[in-house]
Amino acid sequence: MHGIAIWFRHLYETTGINLTIAYDPFDRARFLDGFLVTLELSAITIIGSIVVGVIGAWLQGARLVWTRRIVQVYIQLFRNTPPLVQMFFFYFGLSSLLPTIKNSFGMQEPPVSGFAWACISLIFFAGAFNVEIFRSGIEAIPSSTIEAAEALGYTRLQTYLNVVLPLAMRVCLPALTNNLVNLIKTTTLAYAIAVPELLYVSNQIWSDSVNVPVMMVVLFIIYTALVGLLVAAMKAWERALHRPGLGT
Amino acid sequence: MTDRVLPVILPLPKALRRDASSSRLCLSLWHAIALAAFVALTAMAADAATGQPTRASVLVVLARWSPLLLRGFGFNILISLMAMAIGTALGVFLGLGLVSPRRPVHALSWVLTEFFRNAPWLVLLFFMIYMLPFRIQIGPLSIALPDWVKAVIGLGLPVMANVAEIMRGAVQSIHPGQWEAAESLGFTRNQQLWQIVLPQCLKRMIPPWMNLYAILAMGTTLASIVGVNDVVTLAGQVQAAEGGRTDLLAPLYGYVLLLFFIYSYPIALLTQRLERRYAVHI
């Protein structure tokens, strides 16, 4: 570890490539923390948005007109407004309307942290797209399949969870992958509400060490790697779910 | 003649027809009204929460600052239009590179496309803000590059990559028989592309291109993070100018949401309709 640090310091002195995150323990620690926050944020929002998508798609198939309408309003609202302003609305707007609570030091603080608000707003944002994606998958299921499940005595919820959703999932995986890739990229917006994620800590590091170009390259590489990982995982899942005769 | 129907096969009721355009437009209006009601509601809730009659009510504040906020929103639209123009112009070239049969050209365009498509927009924006000089010297001519111009370039680049991808997708969606038929008629590769394939692509590219524009219009708010005085920055400044009243935050950002919704929802509806019209039925 020490040898690596020396080598990177040497690299800085000879070439001017200042990778402080490789030799400075303080910068390395906060960079790793930021990376972990980004991972956490991505994982929570991916899972949360899929759950919202599944529930929303189920509600869209509801018999009540008003349930469908409310889901539709939710989708259109969140699809057609900027995610950044949504985040500000949640973080500044709603949080200022909530009562504050006392923390262990006796200070007043908002009950929901910036990280939580980032998760909530990103889940709602990506979830709106996921509902549409799942719905398009559900529409691809032939009605005879659903009728067959009905004839076998499945209830509506059972049909949805055991028959429709597993089949729809396979149809809409490529679109879902696209949206989740977008979601990972959108987690950078948490920067704006001071959640210490990757972009935020990188900003701190390049403000301290004046190594903007180097940190930029590092950021690009990390986000490309994250997106690549997600795409590879989704591709693997797609292959694992593949059933001959369904879809392409 | 066409109005006559057989007594057994009645025409579909108007509401069930696919191109029930009038009902769709009504829907958009309803959504806007619902949103306006939502903003008013948050405003009233905020008013009730503070309960101090001496201060101006939230709606009055919103009305007072509307001209400024609207101007800020206009700036957002201007940025989006310029970024779209730059992105589309460059993206067409990149797209042509993507469908090129020449390996090095294809490989280079592929790398560029993937890079700009996978990088987060905000990181690209930061990159442009920090990396571009504030002034370019071309011979005797010196051009100043204010932050918003850099933001336009920073937003234009991912648009470029997405336009290229849209173009590649459209070209691939053209049946290979078209290329073969054109080739058998003695068209050169360039003629095949420009006279046979691309004209057919154009129609298919419009819906995803409009979709991209809507996404870009949303993305212009990112410019506020890197210091451009757009509508989001102005909303923050209005709140500060009103004495930092925290009860103003929800209505102000709700108002900005409403502006964007009114702008992009019709675009989304139009895109949907075009998509349906141009859908390829196999």
Series of mean pLDDT values for 10-residue runs along chain B (282 residues):
55 54 52 71 68 69 90 95 96 92 93 91 91 82 87 94 93 89 91 90 89 93 90 92 84 92 92 82 54
B11 falls within a domain: no
A246 falls within a domain: no
Closest partner CB to A81 (pick from B123, B127, B260): B260
Residue B79, domain extent: 32-43+69-276
Distances (CA, A) of B186 to B100, B191, B199: 19, 9, 18
DSSP letter string, B135-191: EEEETTEEEE--HHHHHHHHHHHHHHHHHHHHHHHHHHHS-HHHHHHHHHTT--HHH
Residue with tokens 């990188």: A202
B190 falls within a domain: yes
> CATH code at A52?
1.10.3720.10
B206 falls within a domain: yes
> CATH code at B261?
1.10.3720.10
B114 falls within a domain: yes
User: What domain count does chain B have?
Assistant: 1
Per the model's pLDDT, the better-predicted residue between B8 and A148 turns out to be: A148
A120 falls within a domain: yes
CB A162 within 8 A of CB A154: yes
B60 falls within a domain: no
B49 falls within a domain: no
The structure's pTM equals: 0.84
CB B100 within 8 A of CB B109: yes
Q: Average pLDDT in the A195-221 region? A: 90
Work out whether the CA dihedral A122, A125, A128, A134 comes out positive or negative. Answer: negative
Cross-chain Cβ contact B250/A77 below 8 Å: no
Residue A154, domain extent: 2-102+111-241
pLDDT tens-digit map of B137-188: 888 888 888 889 999 999 999 999 999 999 999 998 888 899 999 999 999 9
If phi > 0 it is left, if psi is from -120 to 50 it is alpha, else beta; for residue B244 that is: left
User: What domain count does chain A have?
Assistant: 1
Q: Average pLDDT in the A92-105 region? A: 80
Cross-chain Cβ contact A89/B219 below 8 Å: no
B25 falls within a domain: no
Residue of A nearest to B258 (CA): A81
Q: How many CB atoms lie within 10 A of CB B38?
A: 16
Residue of B nearest to A73 (CA): B31
B268 falls within a domain: yes
ipTM value: 0.86
Cross-chain Cβ contact B120/A223 below 8 Å: yes
A146 falls within a domain: yes
